[in-house]
């Protein structure tokens, strides 16, 4: 991650992320969004890299199974930076989704 984002930015971002997750774990007993995702009733696009070291594969599957009408697009060789590494494909999927939902 340091190679991708630079050491200073990554350290600050990682520290803030850890603080946020710790707060959620303590306040919501680990439930980041499981209770809320069934309340989403709008079209939802989920994009995920299958080799993401930060977001396990079961997370996007759970979201797809619990957000009615959601659409999951997987990037088989993608990691956490699919928006950068596969920018053209990523942006095309987002644009297609947004134009379809207008």
Residue-range domain boundaries for the chain: 1-30, 33-102
The per-residue pLDDT of the chain, averaged, comes to 91
Q: Averaged over 63-71, what is the pLDDT?
A: 95
Cβ–Cβ < 8 Å for 92, 85? no
Residue 71: closest CA among 61, 86, 85, 82: 61
The percent of residues in the chain predicted with pLDDT above 70, rounded, is 98
- CA separation for the pair 90, 86 (Å, rounded): 6
14-64 per-position pLDDT tens digit = 999 899 889 888 888 877 788 889 999 999 999 999 999 989 999 999 999
User: Distance from CA of residue 65 to its chain's centroid?
Assistant: 15
Cβ neighbours for 31, distance < 8 A, ≥ 6 positions apart: 24
pLDDT of residue 102: 56
- CA separation for the pair 1, 10 (Å, rounded): 7
């Amino acid at each position: 991650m340091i190679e991708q984002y630079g050491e200073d930015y990554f350290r600050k971002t990682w520290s803030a992320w850890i603080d946020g997750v710790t707060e959620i774990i303590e306040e919501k007993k680990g439930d980041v969004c499981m209770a809320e995702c069934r309340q989403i009733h709008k079209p939802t696009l989920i994009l995920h890299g299958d080799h993401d070291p930060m977001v396990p594969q079961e997370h996007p599957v759970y979201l797809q199974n619990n957000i009615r009408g959601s659409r999951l697009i997987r990037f088989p060789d993608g990691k956490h930076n699919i928006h950068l590494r596969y920018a053209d494909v990523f942006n095309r999927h987002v644009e297609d989704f947004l134009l379809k939902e207008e």
